[in-house]
Structure 1
Amino acid sequence: MSKPMATSASAYPEDGEPSGLLAFRRLDEFLGRAIESARGRYGPEASADAFRGLYVSVEQAERSMRRPPGEPLCTPGDSHPAGSDPGWERIAATERGWSWLRTGYGLSDFELDVVLLALAPEVDPRYERLYAYLQDDVNRRRPTVGLALDLLTGTARERLAARRYFGAEAPLLGRRVLSLVPDPRAEAASVIGRFLVLDEQIVDVLLDQGGLDRRLTAFCELVTPPPAPVEDEALYRMVCDAWGRVPLRLYFQDPAGAAGRRTAQALAAALAVPLLAVDTEDILHDDTVLELVFREAALHGALLHLDDVGSPCTLALADRLAAYDGVATLAGSRPWVPTTRRPLGVLTVPSEPGDATWRRTTWQQAFAAHGVEAAAADVDALAVRFRLGPSQIEEAVMTARTAARLHTEDDPETAARSPSRAELFAAARAQTGHELTTLARRVEPSRGWDDIVLPAESLELLHSLCEWIVHRRQVMEEWGFDRRMSQGKGISALFAGPPGTGKTMAAEVVAHDIGLDLFKVDLSTVVSKYIGETEKNLERVFTAAADADAILFFDEADALFGKRSDVHDAHDRYANIEVAYLLQRMEEYAGLAILATNMRQHLDDAFTRRLRFIVEFPFPDDAERRRIWDVCIPPEAPRAPDVDVDRLARDFRLSGGNIHNIVLHAAFLAAAGDGRIGMTELLRATRREYLKMGRVEPMADPDRQEPRRPGDE
């Protein structure tokens, strides 16, 4: 229906059209022919009437009555020299935006001309004046459907047939290339009276304006990833084979929420294309925004990555995926459920955190980028103990630099280049565990090996527990044990012993030694009287801990992990289900979980069989109590010469927790007295501790040689 038109020699020089404006030569030829036709239709007085369109004169009404219904402004009789009009094939060959629009959406020449009409006022306001004249109305400065039909068709039959291009399912409207906006002055504007308004994204593309669509900046990020190794060569080959040829949809099941994004970045870097990363949490049901997202990926030739995709996916997302002919990667925490409405062929790719070798390389790159020097042993320890992604590692390095500036009295810039091991570990810990803080209490590990008093065998087990974590990479990854195990790859330990024997302190010592956070699970927020709620709460704890690289410490664990019993009623049945669930969840947990109990005999045998370490915390004997009394009184505290720790250890059979309480109470008594901690204060505090426990204080017996057994008075 579009016809060649005459060119305006004054607007375009002989040596070629201005760069990017070849299409507007075509438009000017349309308009030049239309203006000639308009002179005859509107009369010679139209151009001189400043109020044209604000009223209808008798002459105008009579002239309209003489015109056949549906007659276009330009008739088939209009003819111009052939070859003067640049066709769309030539335009698309020289201008990328028009080429993409033509091939990507399969638009016809007529539809491309409509887009050109709507685009012109974004380039030059003179087109608004021309449109007002051609539409015989000074207020209609934007093109309408009617103007497009007038300019782009030659007969009334063609004009009626061309209305199909403005249907809801036609590409122009169905693919949201443009929208039809009613005239605000008309209560019920007809289709032909509606304005043609191009989508902002289409305008930017056709005018070669780079960057991300302004409407997508809140939840999209367009990045050019730095070179990074692709861990799965088969995955990379598959994406390369599909790129630019066939649709491909991959789903990274990513409970931690970082590995999927990292894999997508590595794939984009390997393909040498940008990555369009989208946080889909708030847009999964918005078909309009999803259309913009998928279009943006196509415009930039980017690998599209959708984060936080629920499963099953929404119908809006399924429709967009089905229509997308590029490569799209998705990530979510749950298994992918195929949609019944649209067959998509989504392939699930289990997304595992990068191994320690990859993390070590990433740490080294981040150190080099920020001018930080770190010992090789520290880099190895960071890579093994913290499963962080690239952005988290870089954030940790920057945070450690700032901490080093704060903690030095020398040149801050020099200190920032060499943060300490403690500062590096603290910065790494700060990257994770934020969700876990709502479910468990973070314990700041401040106790060391010198602070804990235990039998040699128990201490050896605690050291072995730390060694498992330190050498985990070597055994599991380098020696291949990881490939031999489908589950139970984590480390679990049971601390069993009477109250006050040092179970919580031992957890702090382990956390302090290996440099990980310690989270104490608050049982009041986990255990529920409602059936099924305890499992849900524990699932939240384990899921949050999976991304925290922290130690989970369950105190009073026998309240959760009790023995399974015979089923006598519904309560027994559901209690057994809870224990069975916990057994399974503990095996799946990849971190370190420490369970503390006062009554080991109450634990289910199947549960203890799955524990890597069982550390006994016996009631301390006389020698151990003497060390505990010494350790509990800090070196800085003023100690009177009459303090007899041998007598205290011999005469009072107390646990380490009780001794700690006594020493602290005695310190406050001393502060209120002569300022020194002596036997008088310690004995008074001991008496109060016995009263608090509801026990009778034993009489001191300086001649007693044999140690008393637990329970002796």
Structure 2
Amino acid sequence: MNARVDTFPGEHLPWSERNQQWLTLALASLCARLDRLAADDAASPPTDGNDLPAPGPDFEPALDQCAALFGLSPFERELLLLAAGVELDNALRHSVVRAHERIFEGSRLAQPTFTLALAMLAQPHWDALSPQAPLRRWKLLEPEGRRALARQPLHADERVLHFLTGVAGFDERLFGVAQLTAPAQPNASGTIAALAQRIARELGRDDARVPLVVLTQDRADVECLRAAAQEVMAATASLGLWTLAHDLPGDAAGLAQTALLIDREAALAGALPVIEMEPCANADVEHTHDERHCATLLAHLSSPALLLGPIDPVRLARLSHRRIVRVRVPDAQDHEPDLRDAATARALRRALQQFRLPASALHSVLAEVALDDDHAEDLDRRVWDACRNAARGGLDALAQRVDSQARFDDLVLPPIQAQLLREIAGHLRHRATVYETWGMGGRTRRGQGLCVLFAGESGTGKTLAAEAIANEAALDLYRIDLATVVSKYIGETEKNLRRVFDAAEASGAVLLFDEADALYGKRSDVKDSHDRYANIEVAYLLQRVEAYRGLAILTTNFRSALDRAFLRRIRFVVQFPFPDEAAREQIWQRELPASAPLHDVDFAALARLQLSGGHIRSVALNAAFIAAGAGESISMAHLRHAAQREAAKLERPLTEAAQKGW
């Protein structure tokens, strides 16, 4: 055990096994030193550390890697090995106890102390335990803190311990704040791939200032920025240490601690810190908080980093230790794949005016379209539908997708309202032509969204009209569930709505806020803190509706309950009237089609019932089930029974005039 190992065996073994063998021999050497110290051997223990095994020219143990990463001196390197060794080797632990019995006259400490390290390790120096020295600055080891500093037990950090043994790990203190992400396989167009190579050169450039690469994109497409970051990770052959700005601690001390742990994890894992700012079309309180926390984190970080998304340039200018590199990531339309088929290229270009897709999703779309060559005549529709499916992203988890085949011909409305609905669909279908091709969008994208209000009694066709518009434009319709959006906790409603709108931006979907007066109610006078935060919610919704580039449909039974500030931002207001007798007869004929078995049904008599379209459908369905259960055709008797049930539900009994002729 006392002999020095001049050559290290195992040249043909995997690195992890060689590291374990080297670590075993190194700990045995420390045991020998401690045993000589405990025995009060006349020959003093070595002071140059030459009894540790020589790793050889083609192998670098994890301890040496750690010493190089954090700039440890030979004494600090051996002290870290000693503190980690007592956790790994029971024999070394007993040797430490015996050495302490001799040095401290009876003390049986099992953890190493600084006094013991000064007596046995090579090239000792007093400042190794300074809070500014690498061992404590990087939290590689920590003194226990209940005795004088030189006699405090020293503990190796758990994450560092795993690193020294060659075991993959992650600092548990970063759970919920950051996560390690492996780079995806390079799958970008030539433009993005070249951009990633240029960013990789910037990150590796020898410069006194630490690089910070800020990736931005005109459309604030989170998926596009993430895909670009993945390409950078592949170009730098590094993992991504991913952090979301809104997950950062809110206090200064917590941010400083997080920055240090991120720096250390980046060094140990060979990772590139990636900080993601959630896009926000309009400045709001929460986004400002995220920016401030993000800038504070960057001020403490000493690693090269990627920042995804815009941040206030003034905050970046204060990072004097950083070399800021701003890079604009092209839109998906700017780097679509090189297509030999001109028809496919035209169809894809049209679809990308509506849907936002990262480069990886574009390749998947093209592969899906290429598999279906049997329907070449439907190329435009197939490309559109493939992009529509790929762009849904996370919206399915945040809202309810409404699948319906409703068309404008299914609606029974006066001519003015019917024409308004067709104009809304036209605005949605031709927005790219007007705003981009014709240049009517001006210099700002604000206000290019389309917000409409459907007002009318329950059952007058508001939801059906929304379904018809979405189908006419070949877009998804999502109903926003207010139960999952509105929260009693301050700020949570805005967070939930931000997630919905951000996910909807990529999908190009139609958003339906049913009974929107619950969300978009009038702002009130501020009498207490609840009024203040309620007004903030309404103001935030006003901003997001105006910035949303798709179609947002608000429905309400009480138009007067809406905040008047919405009227400026609403392009169309469609009043759905209660159907008159002629309209009700048409609705009855649609709800009782010729394919259903009918027996002497008098539609004129049915039309005298004062029911809206939704209630008429309910009566027709209930009558059909009653007839089917009796094994009979649908007759006026079945309809009368179902109508009476519906009237009782509405607490509105049928009048004699309505039942005349039944």
Pair in the same fold by TM > 0.5: yes
**Aligned letter for 1:451?**
D
> What does 1:227-376 align with in structure 2 at a 5 Å threshold?
227=186, 228=188, 240-244=201-205, 245=207, 246-249=209-212, 261-278=226-243, 284=249, 285=254, 290-306=259-275, 312=289, 321-330=298-307, 338=315, 355=331, 357=333
Which blocks of at least 5 consecutive residues in structure 1 are unaligned? 1-6, 45-71, 183-187, 365-374, 401-418, 703-713
Indicate the residue corresponding to 1:370 in structure 2. none
> What does 1:448-487 align with in structure 2 at a 5 Å threshold?
448-449=407-408, 451-455=410-414, 458-459=417-418, 461-466=420-425, 468-469=427-428, 484-487=443-446
C-alpha distance 277-212 of structure 1, shift in aligned 2 (>3 A): farther
Moved more, 598-607 or 447-456: 598-607
Query: What SS class does the counterpart of residue 329 from structure 1 fall into?
Result: strand
> What does 1:173-572 align with in structure 2 at a 5 Å threshold?
173-181=136-144, 190-206=148-164, 209=166, 211-213=168-170, 215=172, 218=175, 220-227=179-186, 228=188, 240-244=201-205, 245=207, 246-249=209-212, 261-278=226-243, 284=249, 285=254, 290-306=259-275, 312=289, 321-330=298-307, 338=315, 355=331, 357=333, 387=356, 429=392, 431-436=394-399, 445=404, 447-449=406-408, 451-455=410-414, 458-459=417-418, 461-466=420-425, 468-469=427-428, 484-496=443-455, 500-512=459-471, 514-520=474-480, 522=482, 537=493, 540-541=496-497, 543-548=499-504, 549=507, 550-555=509-514
**Aligned letter for 1:148?**
A
Alignment partner of 2:116 out of 144, 147, 150: 147
- Bigger relative contact order, structure 1 or 2, given CA contacts below 8 A and separation 6+? 2
Moved more, 127-136 or 10-19: 10-19
Does residue 1:644 correspond to 2:602, yes or no? Answer: yes
Within 2, Cα distance between the matches of 1:553 and 1:659?
Answer: 23
The answer on whether the counterparts of 1:496 and 1:617 sit within 8 Å (CA) in structure 2 is yes
Within 1, Cα distance between the matches of 2:98 and 2:52?
Answer: 25
The answer on whether the counterparts of 1:312 and 1:338 sit within 8 Å (CA) in structure 2 is no
Query: What SS class does the counterpart of residue 394 from structure 2 fall into?
Result: coil
Within 2, Cα distance between the matches of 1:486 and 1:321?
Answer: 30
Report the alpha carbon displacement of residue 304 of structure 1 after superposing the two structures with TM: 0.6
The answer on whether the counterparts of 1:338 and 1:346 sit within 8 Å (CA) in structure 2 is no
Indicate the residue corresponding to 2:633 in structure 1. 676
The answer on whether the counterparts of 1:492 and 1:611 sit within 8 Å (CA) in structure 2 is yes
Indicate the residue corresponding to 2:614 in structure 1. 657
The answer on whether the counterparts of 1:687 and 1:697 sit within 8 Å (CA) in structure 2 is no
Query: What SS class does the counterpart of residue 501 from structure 1 fall into?
Result: coil
Within 1, Cα distance between the matches of 2:325 and 2:511?
Answer: 30
The answer on whether the counterparts of 1:392 and 1:431 sit within 8 Å (CA) in structure 2 is no
C-alpha distance 525-41 of structure 1, shift in aligned 2 (>3 A): closer
Within 1, Cα distance between the matches of 2:84 and 2:480?
Answer: 62
**RMSD of equivalent CA atoms:** 6.3
Query: What SS class does the counterpart of residue 274 from structure 2 fall into?
Result: strand
Query: What SS class does the counterpart of residue 297 from structure 1 fall into?
Result: helix
C-alpha distance 100-152 of structure 1, shift in aligned 2 (>3 A): same
User: How many residues matched?
Assistant: 608
Alignment partner of 1:629 out of 582, 588, 593: 588
Larger of the two Rg values belongs to structure = 1
**Aligned letter for 2:503?**
D
C-alpha distance 631-236 of structure 1, shift in aligned 2 (>3 A): farther
Within 2, Cα distance between the matches of 1:215 and 1:468?
Answer: 51
Which blocks of at least 5 consecutive residues in structure 2 are unaligned? 279-285, 369-381
Report the alpha carbon displacement of residue 589 of structure 1 after superposing the two structures with TM: 2.5
Report the alpha carbon displacement of residue 223 of structure 1 after superposing the two structures with TM: 0.7
The answer on whether the counterparts of 2:475 and 2:510 sit within 8 Å (CA) in structure 1 is no
Report the alpha carbon displacement of residue 561 of structure 1 after superposing the two structures with TM: 6.5
**Aligned letter for 1:328?**
A
**Aligned letter for 2:202?**
D
Report the alpha carbon displacement of residue 220 of structure 1 after superposing the two structures with TM: 1.9
Does residue 1:109 correspond to 2:108, yes or no? Answer: no
Report the alpha carbon displacement of residue 454 of structure 1 after superposing the two structures with TM: 3.4
Indicate the residue corresponding to 1:41 in structure 2. 40
Within 2, Cα distance between the matches of 1:297 and 1:585?
Answer: 36
Within 2, Cα distance between the matches of 1:235 and 1:16?
Answer: 37
The answer on whether the counterparts of 2:479 and 2:514 sit within 8 Å (CA) in structure 1 is no
Report the alpha carbon displacement of residue 149 of structure 1 after superposing the two structures with TM: 0.8
The answer on whether the counterparts of 1:117 and 1:143 sit within 8 Å (CA) in structure 2 is yes
The answer on whether the counterparts of 1:496 and 1:616 sit within 8 Å (CA) in structure 2 is yes
Query: What SS class does the counterpart of residue 299 from structure 1 fall into?
Result: helix
The answer on whether the counterparts of 2:28 and 2:92 sit within 8 Å (CA) in structure 1 is no
C-alpha distance 556-281 of structure 1, shift in aligned 2 (>3 A): closer
The answer on whether the counterparts of 1:256 and 1:333 sit within 8 Å (CA) in structure 2 is no
Indicate the residue corresponding to 1:412 in structure 2. none
Report the alpha carbon displacement of residue 506 of structure 1 after superposing the two structures with TM: 1.0
The answer on whether the counterparts of 1:27 and 1:117 sit within 8 Å (CA) in structure 2 is no
**Aligned letter for 1:329?**
L
> What does 1:41-60 align with in structure 2 at a 5 Å threshold?
41-42=40-41
Within 2, Cα distance between the matches of 1:25 and 1:564?
Answer: 71
The answer on whether the counterparts of 2:447 and 2:547 sit within 8 Å (CA) in structure 1 is yes
Query: What SS class does the counterpart of residue 630 from structure 1 fall into?
Result: helix
Within 2, Cα distance between the matches of 1:40 and 1:696?
Answer: 110
Query: What SS class does the counterpart of residue 395 from structure 2 fall into?
Result: coil
Report the TM-score when normalising by structure 2. 0.66
Query: What SS class does the counterpart of residue 594 from structure 1 fall into?
Result: strand
C-alpha distance 39-612 of structure 1, shift in aligned 2 (>3 A): closer
Report the alpha carbon displacement of residue 294 of structure 1 after superposing the two structures with TM: 1.7
C-alpha distance 147-507 of structure 1, shift in aligned 2 (>3 A): same
Within 1, Cα distance between the matches of 2:624 and 2:647?
Answer: 17
Indicate the residue corresponding to 1:707 in structure 2. none
> What does 1:79-94 align with in structure 2 at a 5 Å threshold?
none
C-alpha distance 577-193 of structure 1, shift in aligned 2 (>3 A): closer
Within 1, Cα distance between the matches of 2:584 and 2:640?
Answer: 15
Moved more, 13-22 or 453-462: 13-22
Query: What SS class does the counterpart of residue 547 from structure 1 fall into?
Result: helix
Within 2, Cα distance between the matches of 1:557 and 1:102?
Answer: 61
> What does 1:154-169 align with in structure 2 at a 5 Å threshold?
162-169=125-132
The answer on whether the counterparts of 1:145 and 1:192 sit within 8 Å (CA) in structure 2 is yes
Report the alpha carbon displacement of residue 470 of structure 1 after superposing the two structures with TM: 5.1
**Aligned letter for 1:275?**
G
C-alpha distance 596-525 of structure 1, shift in aligned 2 (>3 A): same
Within 2, Cα distance between the matches of 1:507 and 1:458?
Answer: 13
Report the alpha carbon displacement of residue 139 of structure 1 after superposing the two structures with TM: 6.5
Alignment partner of 2:7 out of 5, 12, 24: 12
C-alpha distance 178-358 of structure 1, shift in aligned 2 (>3 A): farther
Identity percentage of aligned residues = 29
